[in-house]
Structure 1
Amino acid sequence: MEITSEEQLREHCGFAKIRAIQKQLDYIDGHIHRFITLSPFLVLSTSSSRMEMDSSPRGGAPGFVKVLDPKTLLMPDAIGNNRLDSYRNIIENQQVGMLFLIPGVDETVRVNGTAIISTDSSFLEQFVDLRKPPKFVLVIQVREAFLHCAKALMRSKLWANDFKIDRKHLPTMGDMLKDQTNNQDIAESQEAMLARYQQEL
């Protein structure tokens, strides 16, 4: 049976505890601010005007996303592959979701809101200390922000070694891309690719 309504869903799952509802804030409080300051990684979710979804990893030194004020976050652009999936989506649909992680911490932080792409100098000046300053900044207006419990990361043992694998158990990125693109050139080695990435960071 396909579940097609919230009523059916609630019949299977029940209702959230009051604390799970009350923890949802419409601003960045001190605890969430501290979490974001310590976070070197997030997943950014966006959607096109056709409701085609995308999730993209973003990373930097801890605190690379700055809390401008309790309702505003700033995320610098970083050099990538120029697909610009997230940014193209934001131009069409400003709704975004962000999931912040801290290595070693099983709790996460979720932030939802709207975003614009800005070249305003007052925003760019926040990131002049970066080795490669951004061309533009994502300005996120916070609609909701809340802590997410540790269960998912506990189940996955993400920060433990239980499920950690040796990289050699997967083909190199170069080999996988060669297969997917039917490229006849010699695949770039994993070492060469990582060295090139290191120069681009």
Structure 2
Amino acid sequence: MRREVGSVEELRAIVGEPDQYVADKVKDRLSAVQRRWLAHSPLCFVATTDARGRVDVSPKGDPAGFVHVIDDTTIAIPDRRGNKRVDGYRNVLQNPHVGTLFVIPGRGDTLRINGTGRILADADYFDALAVQGKRPTLALELAIEEVFFHCAKAFLRSDAWDPSTWTPDAVPSAAQLAKAIRHDWTQAQLDEYYSEANYRKTLY
């Protein structure tokens, strides 16, 4: 039998209340250790919502420390060449509220930063964001409203960093999946196009 939760009171009755330490850990500016975390993170996930409430989550990655810390209340996430869908950026133009999650490989805990975003086509710090001599196409500048560390339980439950649990070949490859939309390409062409070696040639 299905039982839907329909109120905060019912939710709290099931889950309970967080202890005071957890409730109070959310801040509105970066601490020194959070700045250090960003300096070592090569990957983040950016969540956005359009005017109708439809959600998009997009990964962003570069060499560790790719996020530019402007000051304790502002960061900038560079954008590189991609598939040109710009789903998240179109969302930001409709609804500027953004949620991010910063990961350090091998660590179960993560850093969450939520705030208000704006899209920049250029800024005085774009040169500092260059990789292999290439400046970013855009940057998502985020005015921080909430920042806090998230516990490691999800990564521990999933064993995400344990190579013995990895099964990358359990599902079709990207090239095989692409056959559904690129009907006029042979599988050999798709295998070449979606190979890691070919992708690395066009990262920047």
Structure 1 length as normaliser, TM-score? 0.93
* CA distance in 2 between partners of 1:103 and 1:15 (Å): 30
- Paired AA for residue 177 in structure 2: M
Runs of 4+ in 1 over 6 A off after TM superposition: none
CA contact (8 A) 1:123 1:137 kept: no
2:118 aligned to 105, 116, 120, which one?
116
Give the Å deviation of 1:172: 1.8
SS in structure 2 at match of 1:197: helix
Gaps of 5+ in 1: none
Query: Could you say if the C-alpha distance between residues 168 and 13 of structure 1 is closer, same or farther in structure 2, counting changes exceeding 3 Å?
Result: closer
* CA distance in 2 between partners of 1:69 and 1:101 (Å): 20
- Paired AA for residue 186 in structure 2: I
CA contact (8 A) 1:38 1:63 kept: yes
Aligned residues: 199
Structure 2 length as normaliser, TM-score? 0.91
Percent of counterpart pairs with the same letter? Answer: 33
* CA distance in 2 between partners of 1:14 and 1:2 (Å): 17
* CA distance in 2 between partners of 1:175 and 1:129 (Å): 30
Q: CA RMSD in A?
A: 1.6
CA contact (8 A) 1:114 1:140 kept: yes
* CA distance in 2 between partners of 1:13 and 1:104 (Å): 29
Give the Å deviation of 1:31: 1.3
* CA distance in 1 between partners of 2:109 and 2:174 (Å): 30
* CA distance in 1 between partners of 2:169 and 2:11 (Å): 42
Query: How does 1:98-137 map onto structure 2 within 5 Å?
Result: 98-128=100-130, 130-137=132-139
